[in-house]
Amino acid sequence: MSVYETVIRRRTIRRFKQTPLSDDLLKRIVNAGRLAPSSANLQPIEYVVIDKPPFVEKVFATLKWAGYISPEGDPPLGERPVAYLAILINNKKSSGCCQRDAAAAIENMILVALEEDVGSCWLGSIDRDTLQNILKLPEYIIIDSVLALGYSNETPAIERLEDSVKYWKDKEGTLHVPKRDLGDVLFYNEYLK
C-alpha cells in the first residue's frame, strides 16, 4: 500500500477486534511518531503505551467517543481498543505550545499503524486530571491526545458533505463521515475571484 493509498483508506475506527498488538508493533508505531517533524527540533513529544488490561480499562473510562452520535458511537464491550498511546508534551523540553508537533507525530503513527492493518481513533476529549493520575505523570508533562488502537472491526464510509459535518450511523451500524469536496477546499493562486 502506498502512502497515498493508506491516507485515502484511513478512517477513524471505534470498534476493534480483541487481538492483542505485539510490543514490536507498538514500538514501530511510536518510532514513527518519534521521527516526525518538530518545530526547532525541540522534540518535546513523549509517549506512554497502555497495553495491560487493568490500565486499558481505566484509560477507556477517561475518554469521550463520537460526540455527534453519543452514546451510539461508544465502542461496545468486546469491541473496545486493546491498547492506547498517550501523547504527551514534556514542558521541560519545549518553550511553548507544541500541539503541531504532537499532531505531526500522531498522524505519522496513525498511518504506520494502518499500514499494519491496525485501526485507530485520535481522542482529544479526555478527562485529563484522572488520566494524569492513572499514568503517574508529573505536572510538567501535559497530555495532548490519546490514540486508541486495535485491529479494525468496522468499515466507515465517506460521503460528500452536503449540509452538515455531523457523521451518522445507518440501520446496519455503518458509520458515514461527510467530507468537503476537493473543489470546495482547493484554490489556485488567488483565494477570492
The binder of ligand FMN chosen from 66, 83, 114, 118 (CB under 6 A): 66
Q: Does 11 bind ligand FMN (CB under 6 A)?
A: yes
Our finding on whether 156 is near ligand FMN (CB under 6 A) is: yes
CB under 8 Å to 144, separation ≥6 — which residues? Answer: 45, 87, 88, 89, 98, 99, 102
| Nearest-approach distance from CB 71 to ligand FMN, in angstroms | 11
Residues 131-150: x where in contact with ligand FMN by CB under 6 A, - otherwise, as a string: --------------------
Q: Binding of ligand FMN at residue 119 (CB under 6 A)?
A: no
Question: Closest separation between CB of residue 148 and ligand FMN, Å?
Answer: 8
Q: Is 56 exposed, middle or buried (0-12, 13-18, 19+ CB in 10 A)?
A: middle
> Is residue 47 within the footprint of ligand FMN (CB under 6 A)?
no
Q: Any contact of residue 118 with ligand FMN (CB under 6 A)? A: no
Decide the pairing of beta strands 157-160 and 175-179.
parallel
- Kindly tell me which residue out of 32, 89, 121, 149 binds ligand FMN, with binding defined by CB under 6 A: 121
- Choose which of 25, 28, 55, 122 interacts with ligand FMN (CB under 6 A): 122
**Cis peptide bond upstream of 71, omega within 30:** yes
How many Cβ atoms sit within 10 Å of the Cβ of residue 71? Answer: 9
Closest approach, Cβ 161 to ligand FMN, in A, equals 11
- Measured at the CA of 181, the angle between CA 68 and CA 158, to 5 degrees, comes to 50
Smallest separation (angstroms) from ligand FMN to the CB of 86: 13
Name which of 27 and 100 has its Cβ closer to ligand FMN: 100
Determine the 3-state secondary structure of 126 from DSSP: strand
Binding region for ligand FMN (CB under 6 A) out of 30-38, 54-62, 77-85, 119-127: 119-127
What distance lies between CA 95 and its chain's CA centroid?
25
**E strands, the chain, where?**
45-50, 83-90, 118-123, 141-151, 157-160, 168-169, 175-179
Could you list the residues that contact ligand FMN (CB under 6 A)? Answer: 11-12, 64-66, 121-125, 156, 167, 177
